[in-house]
Structure 1
Amino acid sequence: MSDIKEVVQKIMEVNFKFDTDVSVLVVTDMSTKDLGSAFHQALHELGWETYIHVMEDRNKSGEEPDAHIAKEMLNHGIVFCLTKHSLTHTVARRHASEQGISVITMPGINEDIFLHGAINADYDRVEQETNEIVALLTSHEKVTIESGDGLTLRIPIGERKGVPSTGVFHKKGDSGNLPSGEAYIAPLEGEAEGEIEINGSIAGIGLVHEPVILKIAAGRLVHASGEVGQKLMDILGEGDGRLLAELGIGTNHAARVTGNILEDEKAKNTIHVAFGSNHTFGGVIKTDVHIDCVTKSPGVIWES
């Protein structure tokens, strides 16, 4: 508990650049309630006014929280979501952020990630390097990802803006993951073409022990190799869940690839593509799933 309290104190003092003298809500679920409860207790012992809600596990990332929890999120200045699946790309999170509430999502968080790895990064460095990649995303119209044995995935992004997830929150309403460190963007829907090797991990599945080849045509996942690929297709469903929703680039020098997407997608020298919802960060896809797929050691070609 003392180690957890030290990390919580560091988060509240280092990662927030605004006055945190506000009420704090901890949203957790049955899978994560032990760590969520310890997080809540640490906040209480450190002097914050804090509340906790435990909900049933969601079935997949991007699924909305219970309506009463979504409503309760609007009553606090900071909301921490320590849950099995991600609430980042939900209407509930977006509405809270629009009301000036900082929602910090920690999907898949466990004690190892909470105490080690990416959480201990130099977040000044992470912020600087993330913003540099965001500038590249914003100033280019297309990104080509090279992976595997000559595979290429061409991703048009047009004039859309890159989004920073730095883990540093400067004003009320700033939201994002912790631990963090990525720059991401919503590609132009229906335009990506090519193939990519996923050799890191897949959200909800874990580490990929044999590379999975994804084929994307007209911005839609049309084939994924092997048993793991079929499992991914099943999670995404037959509808808009298979649309390419995100290109992300990891920027956290302390992050590891361990099979937990919360940390994996933040690791430097990785990229990730995601399928499903992107309406919360500049796209137009609205569905109840968002699944990230991580590739280690890719080639990245920027095109104007």
Structure 2
Amino acid sequence: MNELINISKKILLDCLGVKAVEKFLVVTDDVKEELAEYLYEAGKELGLTSMLFKIPALRKSGEEPPKTAAEAMKNADVVICVTEHSLTHTRAKKEATESGARVATMPGITKEMFINGAITADYTQVEKLTKKVAEILTQGRKVIVEKDGHRLEMNIEGRKGIESTGRYIEKGQSGNLPSGEAYIAPVEGTACGSILVDGSIVGLGKLNSPILLRIEKGLLVDAEGDGAKEWLKILGNSDAARNVAEFGIGTNPNAILSGNILEDEKILGTIHLAFGSNDTFGGKVNAGVHLDAVVLNPTVYIDEKIILDKGRLLI
């Protein structure tokens, strides 16, 4: 227990820059309460006004937490969400950051992930690389992803690349922990083509065999492969749920493929797509769901310039 509390202290100090006078809130659920307790205790030992708020386990990532939890998030200086399903792309998180809170989300975090993998990275270096990639996305107009004979195109013109650096030390900053990704909301209705997902997918975990996604006019229209039909049911049938919500690039060299999207989407040289909501980071869709899919070793062009060559980042 002492080891995990010490690791939690390091996270609070290095990644969130906490100060003893601040109000620190941990939001958790029945599934992840044990891990949340370590952060709560670490906050107390660092002299923070440390608070723990437990909510019912949500049904899926992107679902809003209870209003009382959302209000508590807005009234804290620092918030960490240690939950089974992600609060990253929710109005509650967005409104908390707009109120000045620094928010880190840790959906699906495990004890193993507290100790090994992405959490052990040098986050000053991750921050530098992530900002470079985010700027490329911001300046970009068109993305092309190629893998194993499949090609997906999307328009990102006018959208802002978002940095999830793992360091949230200024008012209103937010992102995942562990972290290391830059992402953007593609322009709705523009994504077209197909992509072979061979890493992991929220709801299915680490894939034993690839799943082929077919996309038309910005919407996921079909998925083929083991578990594909099950995953489509989790996602839902509405146009909002099937919206191509996010294109992201992993920037953490210590991240390991485990089946947990929190870490998998951060692996250096991978890309991920998400479907559903994107209104919290520059898009127009609120679907009440946000599910990610990780692609290993893709080739990516932005405005015809190669950025990733079979998983090797060229910046």
- Could you state the TM-score of these two structures normalised by the residue count of structure 2? 0.94
Distance 2:87 2:155 in 1: 27
1:230 aligns with 2:229: yes
Q: Distance in 2 between matches of 1:282 and 1:62?
A: 15
Using the TM superposition, give the Cα deviation of residue 19 of structure 1 relative to its aligned residue in structure 2, in angstroms: 4.3
Q: Give the match for residue 21 of structure 1.
A: 21
1:204, distance to aligned residue in structure 2 (A)? 2.1
**Do the aligned residues in 2 keep the contact of 1:3 with 1:115 (CA within 8 Å)?**
no
Note the alpha carbon deviations across 1:17-74, whole angstroms, 9 max, x for none.
4746301011000110111122212222332220101111100000000111111112
What do the CA deviations read for 1:194-248 (whole angstroms, capped 9, x no partner)?
Answer: 0000000001220011100000000000010024111221111111101100000
1:39 and 2:43 correspond: no
Q: Equivalences for 1:1-304 in 2 at 5 Å? A: 1-17=1-17, 19=19, 21-147=21-147, 149-239=148-238, 240-303=240-303
CA distance in 2, matches of 1:213, 1:300: 17
Deviations 1:91-112 (CA, angstroms, capped at 9, x unpaired): 1111111000111110001101
Residue by residue, what CA displacement relative to the aligned partner does 1:120-157 show, whole Å, maximum 9, x if unpaired? 1000110011011111111110111111x210000111
Q: Which residue of 1 aligns with 2:310?
A: none
Structure 2 counterpart SS, 1:230: helix
In structure 1, C-alpha distance between the alignment counterparts of 2:120 and 2:283, rounded to whole Å:
32
Q: Which has the higher contact order (CA 8 A, sep 6+)?
A: 1
**In the alignment, residue 271 of structure 2 is paired with which amino acid?**
I
Query: Which deviates further from its counterpart, 34-43 or 135-144?
Result: 34-43
- RMSD in angstroms over aligned alpha carbons? 1.2
Shift of 1:188: 0.5
Question: Residues 187, 20 of structure 1: CA spacing in aligned structure 2 closer, same or farther, 3 A cutoff?
Answer: farther
The one-letter code of the counterpart of 1:130 is T
Structure 1 contact 5–43 (Cα < 8 Å) conserved? no
Q: Does structure 2 conserve the Cα–Cα contact (< 8 Å) formed by 1:82 and 1:107?
A: yes
Counterpart-to-counterpart distance in 1, 2:118 and 2:263: 7
Amino acid at match of 2:157: G
SS of 2:133's equivalent in the other structure is helix
| Partners of 2:149 and 2:162 in 1: CA distance | 29
> How many percent of aligned residue pairs carry the same amino acid?
45
Residues 201 and 261 of structure 1 are in contact (CA less than 8 Å); yes or no, is this contact kept in structure 2?
Answer: yes
Cα distance in structure 1, aligned partners of 2:17 and 2:83? 24
Alpha-carbon distance between aligned partners in 1 of 2:3 and 2:204, rounded to the nearest angstrom:
29
What is the TM-score with the length of structure 1 in the denominator?
Answer: 0.97
- Is 273-282 or 128-137 further displaced after alignment? 128-137
Q: Partner letter of residue 281 of structure 2?
A: F
Gaps of 5+ in 2: 305-315
